[in-house]
Amino acid sequence: MILQALKEYYDRKAADPDSGIAPLGWEWKEIPFLFVITDDGQFVRIEDTREIVGKRKIAKRFLVPQSVVRTRNPAAFTLWDKAEYAFPGVAQGTDADKKHTLFLTRLNQFADDLPSVASVRRFLTEHFDTERLKGDGNWSEYIQTGAVATFIIAGHEKPVPCEGDFVQAYNAHLSSTGEVPDGVCLVTGSRAIISRTHHKIVGVLGTDKNRGSLISFNWDAAESFGREQSYNSPVGQEAEFAYTTALNALLASSRQKMYVGDATTVFWSSEKSTLEDEFADLFREPQKDDPDRGVDAVERLLGSVRSGAYAHEGGTARFYVLGLSPNSARISVRFWHEGTVAEMERRFADWFENLRIVHGPKDKEHLSLTQLLLSLALHNKDYQKWKANIPPNLAGAVMRSILEGTPYPATLLSSAIVRIKAERDVTYPRAKLVKAFINRNLNPERKLAMSLDKDNPNVGYRLGRLFAVLERIQQAANPGINATIRDRFYASASATPAAVFGNLMRLKNHHLAKLPKTAFFEELIGEILSSVAAFPSHLSLEDQGMFAIGYYHQRQDFFVGRKTKDSGVGDAASTSESDDTVQTELSL
């Protein structure tokens, strides 16, 4: 199904003249160097097409004949290639002469009929002078970098393989190969010429030089019935070109590609849709040039659920998400999901609704998936190392749950609880994840609300609230205190309440004696403990999550109380910690 969906995407984009996707038999290729020659084949100069973008040199892209798959045997490209194929005397080894001969053989197919190609042939066979080429400053860099190059006639606007007469001749050549279909294509279901090898997929993060095969067979155990190489998975040449071109185009796009953990994720729809344009903004990290783009996209998504905008626009169109990661010599599929645009809209909206929780004025309403998962990783000043500390496979598992509308992985809650205990801090992003997990997976009779729920009977939630109140009493009694009961007792209080809360309640009495007004706190403690018969000896992992949310909700309620100066709450909070310590931001 993946290959069929990719071919459909290719067909859709190929029908759009403004898409820039390569037609059959062609590919868009960055070519750093152009060898400028005269009509009679004399060398003029080597032109560097690269421009400095940021810290990188980016070569100009040209539409050239598609490359062939190189295995153990040499194979040349048509009118563009590396120096070892394009020029005589450059290659080394047993196949040195053969490589350039193969290049000339492909060139000779068009040289007799096309003057520009004939000029290239004269340059390579009659006027080639290595010493003169070495005199050009770009020659040594071309050789050292192993880059590809092509040819352009002086005074012409386009390189030889891009000129109109060559394009027509090459397309005619493609349609007149005379090969007979030798199998049934598993993508189209029609008889076709089966591809022996498939073109490389470029741009999957972590692959060797960012290149790898999606379909390949290189050991006997994977082959059967005498079918070797890609004949074991028969895909017609046209379908193979379509799916590889479409996937490479997606991987080259900044708007239809994002990184989810160690998975490079691409997405598209069967028809043009708003969701296709905004999917990346919903989940990827904020862009430096427009940090609010993601927040705006989420708000539009949530608004569209109420208005039905996406559904009216084309909700029945199919939407596809493909997660890829490197695996030795080939690329592995980490996750694959498809559904209608309307289905995806509802599932994405459900994810963001589950995450919503009360927060401070400095916190953004919506955080990217990476920002959320970073809160579960051991902090490191080096941002890339920090990202590498995200629990293995968690990002892919969470994304799969979002796409399928299934329960979130158990490791999401356990990782959050472990990090909360280790740092003794229920931060905003951690609270969002814990709340989302509880509301999706545990399906309690009373789902967690965005803010404080005084009627929630769960013992873990109640004890979390109580712990926040006891901490606030300590802070009010000891203004400017550096370490609170949270720093010493949070982990044990949330896991084994009976072993801790007895001492904390006695300590509370000592702190209350220092305060001029105690009625508010005493009434609040009585309200919290009204439905708690006894402190349990242990809390389950799920109840520890409820403890974290109860603690977070109660602290946020104190913060709101201080901001609004609401009766006794404002008075009690006036001597407590600053706004900055109440609210913990995820600073990236």
33-37, 39-43, 166-170, 272-276: range with lowest mean pLDDT: 272-276
Query: Which DSSP helix (H) or strand (E) runs through 465?
Result: helix 459-477
Tokens for 209?
């030089």
Query: For residue 209, what pLDDT is reported?
Result: 60
Please tell me the distance from the alpha carbon of residue 235 to that of residue 240, in angstroms, as a whole number: 6
Per-residue pLDDT band at 308 (split at 50, 70, 90):
low
Segment 102-123 shows an average pLDDT of 95
pLDDT range class, residue 206, cuts 50, 70, 90: low
Q: Over 50: is that where the pLDDT of 392 sits?
A: yes
Tens digits of residue pLDDT in 506-520: 999 999 999 998 899
Query: What mean pLDDT comes out for the span 376-396?
Result: 87
Has residue 120 got a pLDDT over 70? yes
- Predicted confidence (pLDDT) per residue in 529-564, tens digit: 998 999 999 999 999 999 999 999 999 999 875 554
Q: What is the structure's pLDDT at 387?
A: 84
Return d(Cα 215, Cα 247) in angstroms, integer.
13
Lowest mean pLDDT across 29-43, 148-162, 571-585: 571-585
What is the pLDDT at residue 309?
53
Q: What are phi and psi for residue 35, nearest 5 degrees?
A: -90, 110
Structural domain boundaries of the chain? 1-17+178-252, 31-175, 253-355, 369-582
Q: What is the pLDDT of residues 435-453, one digit of tens each?
A: 999 999 986 667 899 999 9
Q: What is the pLDDT of residue 261?
A: 73
Neighbour tally for 426: CB within 10 Å: 25
User: How many CA within 13 A on the CB side of residue 148?
Assistant: 17
Using CA atoms, how far apart are residues 267 and 277, in angstroms rounded to an integer? 10
Q: What is the mean pLDDT of residues 271-290?
A: 79
Question: Between 485-495 and 501-512, two packed helices, what is the crossing angle to 10 degrees?
Answer: 140
Please give the residue that has the higher pLDDT: either 284 or 496.
496
DSSP state string for 489-502 = HHHHHHH-GGGTHH
Torsions phi, psi for 101 (to 5 deg): -65, -40
- Please tell me the predicted confidence (pLDDT) of residue 15: 81
pLDDT at 214 over 80: yes
Query: For position 305, what pLDDT does the model report?
Result: 60
pLDDT per residue as tens digits for the range 405-420: 899 999 999 999 999 9
Q: Residue 577 pLDDT more than 70? A: no
Q: Is the pLDDT of residue 581 over 60?
A: no
- The pLDDT score that the predictor gives to residue 6 is 95
Long-range interactions of 224-230: CB distance < 8 A, separation 24+: 229/196, 229/197, 230/194, 230/195, 230/196, 230/197, 230/198
Look at residue 398 and tell me whether its pLDDT is greater than 70. Answer: yes
pLDDT of residue 565: 45
